[in-house]
Amino acid sequence: QVQLQESGPGLVKPSETLSLTCTVSGGSISSYYWSWIRQPAGKGLEWIGRIYTSGNTDYNPSLKSRVTMSVDTSKNQFSLKLSSVTAADTAVYYCARGHNFDYWGQGTLVTVSS
């Protein structure tokens, strides 16, 4: 059974960079697209971007200037960096697999506050 687990700081200061890692277990990270999705409290889902195991990326145009994703196939991990964060970036961040998000992490709350 494939499992995804997000990890990273739960508190980030305004203007700094949010960094999260998603570790995939129970299956290989290879040959799939992997996405980051976020959800502010009480609001809907927003797709942040995706990375293929080759390293190719696609980002949400509204976040593109601040987002960087990377993948480490040797560790079965992929990562998200979101720069110049503000309070509007406070949300639960999820990682998910594929075109139809068939597996999700449990989510991690990231709060942007000084």
Partner 1 sequence: QSVLTQPPSVSGAPGQRVTISCTGSSSNIGPGYDVHWYQQLPGTAPKLLIFSNNNRPSGVPDRFSGSRSGTSASLAITGLQAEDEADYYCQSYDSRLSGYVFGTGTKVTVL
Q: Which residues contact 91 (CB under 8 A, 6 or more apart)?
A: 38, 39, 40, 41, 46, 109, 110
Nearest approach, Cβ of residue 63 and partner 1 (Å): 10
For partner 1, the closer CB: 20 or 50: 50
In whole angstroms, how close is the CB of 64 to partner 1 at the nearest point? 9
Give me the least distance between CB of 84 and partner 1, in Å please: 18
Question: Could you tell me the smallest distance in angstroms from the CB atom of residue 51 to partner 1?
Answer: 12
Q: Which residues contact 75 (CB under 8 A, 6 or more apart)?
A: 23
Q: How far apart are CA 47 and CA 61, in angstroms?
A: 10
Using CB under 8 A, list all residues that contact partner 1: 35, 44-47, 49-50, 58-62, 94, 99-102, 104-107
Q: Contact 101/1 with Cβ under 8 angstroms?
A: no
Nearest Cα neighbor of 81 from 73, 93, 99 is 93
Cβ distance to partner 1 smaller for residue 18 or 105: 105
Q: Specify the residue, 13 or 68, whose C-beta has the smaller distance to partner 1.
A: 68
Residue closer to partner 1, measured from CB, 16 or 46: 46
